[in-house]
Copies of this chain bind each other. A is one copy, B any other.
Amino acid sequence: MTTATLEPTAEVNSHPPKPTMKALVYRTSGKGSGRPSWEDQPHPTIQHPEDAIVKITTTTICGTDLHILKGDLPAVTDGRILGHEGIGIIEKAGSGVSSFKAGDKVIISCVTACMKCDFCRKGMLSHCRHGGWILGNLINGTQAEYVRIPYADGSLYHFPKGGDEEAMVMLSDALPTGFECGVLNGEVKPGETVAIVGAGPVGLAVLLTAQFYSPAVIYVIDLDDNRLAIAKKFGATTVINSSDGNAVETIMKLTNGEGVDVAIEAVGIAATFDICQDIVGAGGRLANVGVHGKPVSLQLERLWDRNIALTTRLVDTVTLPMLLKVVLSGKVEPAKLITHRFELQDILKAYETFGNAAREHALKVVLTNT
């Protein structure tokens, strides 16, 4: 998001002095990793007519937030409020916001979208010329009492009557990421054989949403037996612990040497990508969901004649309205991904739990601001 498009306009700047608020701030010396800090921060204000200020009622922590703390995303600088998921209530809407007004309860998309640029018109909101993933990244995010949401009309969704807040906060990022990057890009079809490599929150979101299309077989591969047990409960037909190095062999045996129709990478490292390219069958699809930090070796000498498609995607959250309908219909229960709950003021404890996910048996941790 260029500063030009966010330049304050005279019209909206006549704000009274605001009280401060509490927020989870990324503190770093700028060299390598940083730490989360729960601090007073200025209450956000409307900076542009299309902005809205949202009082957060529920938020959560994403694996990406941990990457930020490790220093993996250098664009995130000292002082940034983290967080890109949340439910809240509109405190104030700018004069250019037409679909929302103060008091409306909303789901915040992790993607900020102007809805007018060429990418937004193509449905690639993640690449919005004026937005994309900026919350808790290039601008302050949702792990706070209040957050400013630019392009509110394109970036917020009305919270549905009768909706469950814990289920709905999974629509900010986790469920659409699994669905769009994994299931839609993987073109999962009834009767097919799907393999999901990685059973973290996103891999499990793939698992839950893959079942919208009734594949006959879903393999889930991970190193953690606890997560595999959850995968089994969530609908995996077979789970495979890959710590013995035999996952590829096992799947090739189970598929009579054919490989799978869809292999979904939900980790973000070379080892799991390699499993995917080893097991994808002729005519199959390899959908990458994981965030990768390094190049991988693509076995084109073997794959060039296998009629496969390999896809990448940053979540666009264009399916959020569809997913909302499916959640409301009871066909999927995303709140099942939630293992731990905290008050927002205890977010440092929540980070500690989430940061030791394996030991804590943690998937998604939810924070409530009451």
Contact = CB atoms under 8 A, between A and B. Distances in A.
A312 B306 contact: yes
A36 to B, nearest CB: 24
Given A127-B283, A295-B301, A304-B314, 4 more contacts: A96-B96, A126-B305, A216-B328, A295-B298
A271 interface: no
Contacts of A214: 211-213, 326, 329, 331-332
A329 B211 CA distance: 12
Contact of A312 (B126, B212, B305): B305
Contacts of A332: 214
User: In the complex this chain forms, how many copies of it are found?
Assistant: 4
Nearest to A132: B305
A123 B216 CA distance: 22
Interface stretch (A19-27, A111-119, A222-230, A338-346): A111-119
B118 A326 contact: no
17 contacts: A9-B95, A50-B98, A115-B116, A122-B283, A126-B305, A126-B307, A190-B323, A191-B326, A214-B329, A214-B331, A214-B332, A290-B304, A292-B301, A295-B297, A296-B298, A305-B314, A309-B310
Contacts of A331: 190, 214, 216
Contacts of A295: 297-301
A321 interface: yes
A361 interface: no
Interface in A305-326: 305-314, 316, 318, 321-326
Contact of A300 (B49, B119, B212, B296): B296
Contact of A99 (B116, B191, B307): B116
The 7 nearest A-B residue pairs measured at CB: A191-B325, A305-B314, A216-B329, A292-B300, A298-B298, A191-B322, A212-B214
A256 interface: no
Interface in A12-36: none
Contact of A124 (B307, B318, B326): B307
B312 A308 contact: yes
Contact of A98 (B114, B273, B321, B324): B114
A147 to B, nearest CB: 20
Contacts of A293: 301
Given A282-B119, A298-B296, A312-B304, A326 B96 contact: no
A352 interface: no
A273 B300 contact: yes
A142 interface: no
A304 B5 CA distance: 26
A58 interface: no
Contacts of A268: 304
A121 interface: yes
Interface in A124-155: 124, 126-127, 153-154
A304 B67 CA distance: 15
A233 interface: no
Contacts of A307: 124, 126-127, 311-314, 316
Nearest to A216: B329
